[in-house]
Amino acid sequence: SSLLRSVKTLARPTTARAYSVDSVPSRKVTVLGAAGGIGQPLSLLMKLNPLVSQLALYDIGGTPGVAADVSHINSRSEVAGYMGDDQLGQALEGSDVVIIPAGVPRKPGMTRDDLFNINAGIVKSLCTAIAKYCPHAIVNMISNPVNSTVPIAAEVFKKAGIYNEKKLFGVTTLDVVRAKTFYAGKANVNVAEVNVPVVGGHAGVTILPLFSQATPKANLSQDDIHALTKRTQDGGTEVVEAKAGKGSATLSMAYAGAIFADACLKGLNGVPDVVECSYVQSTITELPFFASKVRLGKNGVEEVLGLGPLSDYEKEGLEKLKPELKSSIEKGIEFVK
C-alpha cells in the first residue's frame, strides 16, 4: 500500500492542475476490473479523456502497476489504483461514472450465459458496494451476460433502496461499433459517416441491428442484410475463436466502453443531443429491460427512444429474440431474490 500511496502522490503534482480546464466540471470515473483484458486499455482511454478529472482503477490484483503506468500520461486526470475489498469503498467514493468490466470472459464454445455462475456473484458484490459508496453514480455494465447482469444490478440497487433506472446502463456499444464497421465494408461507404442502431440485448440473436435504418443508405440485398446481421450477432464469437482460448474482445471493447462512458460524461455535463444505444430499463416493448437508442443528459437517461420503422426481417428478429431476452432477465432477477 506504500506503492499505492506513492502512485497517488505522483498523480497529484502541480502540473496536473495546469492541465485542468476551469470550464470543464470535475468528474470522477471508477473502473472496476481495471487490471483485466478490457480494464487496462479502457483505463488508458479514460486517462486520455479530458472530461475526466479523477480516475480510480480498482481490481482484486494488479492495479498498483496499471495505475502507476497510466498515471504518467500527461493528461488531465489524477490516477489512483485500489486493490482488494478494503479499498473498494475509496475507489468508489464520489464517483460520477462507474464502469464495470470485472469478471471472466468466454472461451471457445461458451455462450455468454455460461459466464453467469461466476460473473453474477462478482456483479452483485460490486453493485452492493456502489449502493453504499456512490449511490448516485451512473453505472456502465460491461460484464457478461449483460442481459442478466443489468437486472442483477437493478435488483441489488432496489434492495438497497437507491435504484434509479436512469443511471443504469448495459454497454452494448460494441455491437454498434461492429455493425458500423461491417456495414461500411459491405456497403462500400465511409465508415466514419455510418450510423446503425442496434437494439434488443447483448447475446446472440438478442442482438438486433437495424440495417433498414442504417445511414448512409445503400442498396443491399436481403442476403447481404442477413449476412451482416449474423456477423454482428456472432462478432464476439468471431473474436473468441480467433483468440483460441485467450479470452474475448478486449481492445475493441475498451474502445466501445470509452465511447459510451464519454457519452455519459457529456450528458452529465449538459451537452445536448447525446444519443447512444444502450440496454436500459424500458417500456418500448413488454420486456422490462431492452436496448435501444437513448438520449443522455444530466440525470443519465433523458429519454428512451422508440425503435422507429422496422423491416419485416427486423420485426421477425424482434419477436424471435424476446423469449431468450425475457428468460435472461428473469434469471438475473431470480439470482438476487
> Binding site: what residues are annotated?
33-39, 59, 106, 112, 119, 142-144, 178, 253
Closest to ligand NAI by CB, 187 or 197: 197
Which C-beta is closer to ligand NAI: that of 60 or that of 220?
60
Q: Which positions make up the binding site for substrate?
A: 106, 112, 144, 178
* Integer CA distances (angstroms), 25 to 52, 140, 167, in order: 9, 20, 19
In the bound complex, which residue of the shown chain has the CB atom lying closest to ligand NAI? 36
CB neighbours of residue 5 within 10 Å? 11
* Nearest CA-CA partner of 153 in 173, 136, 170, 171: 170
Minimum distance between the CB of residue 81 and ligand NAI, rounded to whole angstroms?
Answer: 12
**312-336 and 146-160 helices cross at what angle (nearest 10)?**
40
Residue 145: CB minimum distance to ligand NAI, A: 8
Contacting positions for ligand NAI (CB under 6 A): 32-33, 35-39, 59-61, 101-106, 115, 119, 122, 126, 142-144, 146, 171, 174, 202, 247-250, 253
CA distance 13 to 209: 46
Closer Cβ to ligand NAI, 16 or 175, answer by number: 175
Q: Catalytic annotation on 72?
A: no
Q: How far is the CB of 329 from ligand NAI (least distance, A)?
A: 16
Cα maximum dimension of the chain = 62
- Residue 289, SS3 per DSSP: strand
Q: How far is the CB of 182 from ligand NAI (least distance, A)?
A: 15
Task: List residues forming the annotated binding site for NAD(+).
Answer: 33-39, 59, 119, 142-144, 253
Distance CA 97, CA 29 (A): 5
Q: Of 89, 88, 11, 3, whose CA–CA distance to 54 is shortest?
A: 11
As a whole number of angstroms, the distance between CA 9 and CA 229 comes to: 49
Which residues are catalytic, by number? 202
